[in-house]
């Protein structure tokens, strides 16, 4: 079996992005463009992958890790010069080499596989991946001879008026005979408008040597979209988002309004889950089956088990177990762990807290740095007070306890099983099992005090207006 190699070009600065972020690291649906490219190349079982880095090299390596080897292009002298930097790693090896760009995030593993197969069957020294473009401006043109064979590839700036009319474009992706590629690269010169060493010039070198060059025309021009500015980035993101949403729908997920639903590339969703409009699912979120993700919710890096309902809420780095529910307008901050059948109501914030099975936290409550057992009722307006100005402290609430509305629980605190906290209490000491903790001033009624305050005068005016 013929060995397969790949070179990913990711050394350009990308000045047209007008960004402090290195171009190939700009995200498309939650994943850096170059990561999309590498992920698709990996699916084709390539024996060795080399990524050419330049500007922002360290950041690229942080993003891709050890999934690829790296070669540094210290000066950006063109695509041919960039590929030549991989010679030490690949130059002596037998096989075929895919060359693609790190700013083309829409190419698929299927297209790369077809190109490899076409190249191997054709027996050509090089095969160019081409496409027909409605507006070919800016792309290199594939010039064929009368027999339909590739004669040369001409860059936009070097094209004659007649060549510029050609609508078959070079996508910037090739498969080469590996050793022939590096031999030809040493013959490329920079006699062109940009003064750079162009990779496509090896095509002419092969032909002068009497070697045959093939071209494989892909079906979907959209895949070849390169990203050089923010406008193209938005277009690529829209295409990728449509592709992601369609994949989930084919797998049994109901997406009510795909044009207004935003799902990152690595998100997983189970069958029969319903995703309503305006939802954003980010990072490595995993959602189970039979869930309902309500309109305008945002979920990032969370695990959502089967049967969960999320209503207009923001969740990050948290877990919701089976048949739990949250919202509307609630917030799970990192390390929130919501148990089975738990109800988190409206305007509740949970941070670094575990909430046990069947517990209810109805509304207007903050639960932070706490462990709550099962079958607890937490009343409206309860605050878990976890910070003393210097350190965070933990509160434990036992099973079957009842926390009355408006309670302030000052950590560190132990509220044992079957305990009761009276409404309106500030609790600073532990509450034993089957006891009631109450921490509030005794009520005193001051007769006649109502009439001393401005509210009384306002009430008189209202009463008079009602009678009139």
Residues 6+ apart with CB under 8 A from 168: 130, 131, 132, 133, 136, 141, 142, 144, 217
Which residue of the set 119, 331, 343, 363 is catalytic?
363
In the residue annotation, 296 being an active-site residue is answered as no
Token couple for 235? 């277009």
Element (H, E) at 161: helix 161-164
Distance CA(153)–CA(158), nearest Å, equals: 10
Q: Taking Cα atoms as reference points, which of 57, 74, 43, 52 lies closest to residue 7?
A: 52
425-434 CB contacts, 8 Å cutoff, 24+ apart:
433/398
- How far is it, in rounded angstroms, from Cα 239 to Cα 433? 59
143 CB contacts (<8 Å, ≥6 apart)? 150, 151, 152, 153, 154, 163, 166
Structure tokens, 224: 């070849």
- How far, in Å, CA of 451 to CA of 154, rounded? 92
Phi/psi at 197 (nearest 5 deg)? -95, 105
Structure tokens at 84: 């030549």
The helix (run of H) or strand (run of E) holding residue 294 is: none
DSSP labels, 20-48: SS-GGGSEETTEEHHHHHHHHHHTTT-SE
Asked whether 36 and 28 are in contact (CB, 8 A), the reply is: yes
How many C-alpha atoms does 384 have within 13 Å on its Cβ side?
29
Beta bridge partners of 4: 96
The three-state secondary structure class of 455 is: helix
Catalytic residue numbers, as ranges? 363
């Amino acid at each position: 079996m013929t060995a397969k190699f790949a070179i990913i070009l990711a050394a350009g600065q990308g000045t047209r992005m007008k960004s402090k972020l290195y171009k190939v690291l700009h995200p498309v649906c939650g994943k850096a463009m170059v990561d999309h490219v590498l992920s698709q190349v990996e699916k084709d079982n390539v024996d060795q992958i080399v990524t050419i880095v330049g500007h922002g090299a360290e950041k690229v390596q942080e993003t891709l890790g050890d999934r690829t080897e790296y070669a540094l292009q210290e000066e950006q002298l063109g695509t041919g010069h960039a590929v030549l930097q991989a010679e030490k790693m690949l130059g002596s090896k037998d096989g075929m080499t895919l060359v693609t760009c790190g700013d083309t995030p829409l190419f698929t593993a299927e297209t790369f596989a077809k190109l490899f197969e076409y190249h191997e069957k054709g027996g050509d020294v090089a095969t160019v991946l081409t496409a027909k473009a409605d507006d070919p401006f800016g792309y290199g043109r594939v010039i064929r001879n009368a027999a339909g064979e590739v004669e040369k590839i001409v860059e936009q700036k070097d094209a004659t008026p007649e060549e510029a009319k050609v609508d078959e474009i070079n996508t910037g992706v090739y498969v080469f005979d590996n050793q022939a590629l590096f031999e030809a690269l040493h013959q490329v010169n920079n006699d062109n408008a940009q003064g750079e060493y162009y990779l496509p010039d090896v095509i002419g070198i092969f032909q002068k040597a009497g070697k045959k060059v093939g071209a494989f025309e892909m079906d979907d021009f959209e895949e070849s979209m390169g990203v050089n500015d923010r406008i193209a980035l938005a277009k690529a993101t829209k295409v990728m988002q449509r592709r992601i949403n369609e994949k989930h729908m084919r797998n049994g997920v109901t997406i009510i309004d795909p044009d207004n639903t935003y799902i990152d590339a690595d998100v997983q969703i189970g069958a029969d889950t319903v995703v309503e409009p305006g939802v954003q699912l980010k990072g490595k979120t995993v959602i189970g089956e039979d869930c309902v993700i309500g309109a305008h919710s945002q979920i990032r890096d969370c695990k959502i088990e089967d049967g969960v309902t999320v209503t207009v809420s923001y969740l990050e780095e948290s877990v919701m177990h089976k048949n739990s529910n949250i919202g509307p307008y609630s917030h799970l901050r990192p390390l929130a762990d919501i148990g089975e059948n738990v109800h988190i109501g409206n305007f509740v914030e949970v941070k670094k807290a575990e909430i046990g099975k069947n517990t209810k936290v109805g509304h207007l409550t903050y639960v932070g740095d706490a462990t709550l057992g099962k079958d607890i009722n937490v009343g409206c307006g309860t605050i878990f007070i976890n910070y003393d100005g210097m350190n965070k402290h933990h509160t434990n609430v036992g099973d079957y306890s009842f926390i009355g509305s408006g309670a302030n629980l000052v950590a560190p605190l132990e509220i044992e099983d079957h305990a009761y906290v009276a409404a309106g209490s500030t609790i600073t000491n532990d509450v034993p099992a089957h006891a009631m903790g109450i921490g509030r001033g005794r009520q005193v009624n001051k007769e006649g005090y109502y009439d001393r305050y401005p509210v009384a005068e306002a009430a008189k005016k209202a009463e008079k207006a009602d009678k009139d």
